[in-house]
Amino acid sequence: MAITYTTSGSAVFASDFEIELYGGTQPDDTNWLDGNAGGSYPGSLTGFLASNSDGNAVAGVKLVMGKFTTVLADDETLTVGGDASRILAVVVGATSVANAGVELKTISAAGVAQFTVVGAPGANVTALLIVA
């Protein structure tokens, strides 16, 4: 599955690349769920096997580089789905149009990014996202 991007208006966000950011084991490595299956750890809890089966786990953190291939409208939002459930941070790139730009207005508690548009910045505004 891949990350999906949905905007509230007519803008289209296209990802150039998505990189997994790790702070430990690889996402596909489930050895940590085995607990102490060997029973060799002093004071081990025999029969205790950790699990994350309630479905509440969030996706691993990813770095996304992409661009809005069409013009953003003022107050337009960007929502992620698929392999990501929320936007954690955004860095918006520059535009080549004088006296115009796109700025991050806010990221809601639900992880939806909203943008402020100044002037008429045109298409292909780049954005660097950190998503989970």
In a domain? residue 42 = no
pLDDT for the residue numbered 128? 97
Residue 38 lies in a domain: no
Residue 36: inside a domain = no
47 vs 18, more confident: 18
Could you tell me the pLDDT band of residue 33, with boundaries at 50, 70 and 90?
Answer: low
**Long-range contacts at 40-47 (CB < 8 A, ≥ 24 apart):** none
Q: Would you say residue 30 lies in a domain?
A: no
Residue 64: pLDDT band with limits 50, 70, 90: very high
Does 29 reside within a domain? no
Output DSSP code: residue 33.
Answer: G
- Structurally, the chain folds into a number of domains equal to 1
Determine contact, residues 78/6, Cβ cutoff 8 Å: yes
Which pLDDT belongs to residue 27? 57
Please check whether residue 27 lies inside any domain of the structure: no
Does residue 50 form part of some domain? Answer: no
pLDDT, residue 62, reads: 93
Give the C-alpha separation, 73 to 55, whole Å. 35
Does the residue 35 lie in any domain? Answer: no
* CB 58, CB 86: distance < 8 Å: yes
Predicted confidence at residue 97, as pLDDT, reads 85
Q: What is the pTM of this model?
A: 0.75
Q: Is the pLDDT of residue 41 over 80?
A: no
Average pLDDT over residues 89-100: 89
Label residues 109-120 b or e (16+ Cβ within 10 Å = b).
eebbbbbebeee
Distances (CA, A) of 9 to 24, 44, 61, 70, 84: 38, 55, 26, 10, 20
More confident: 74 or 21? 74
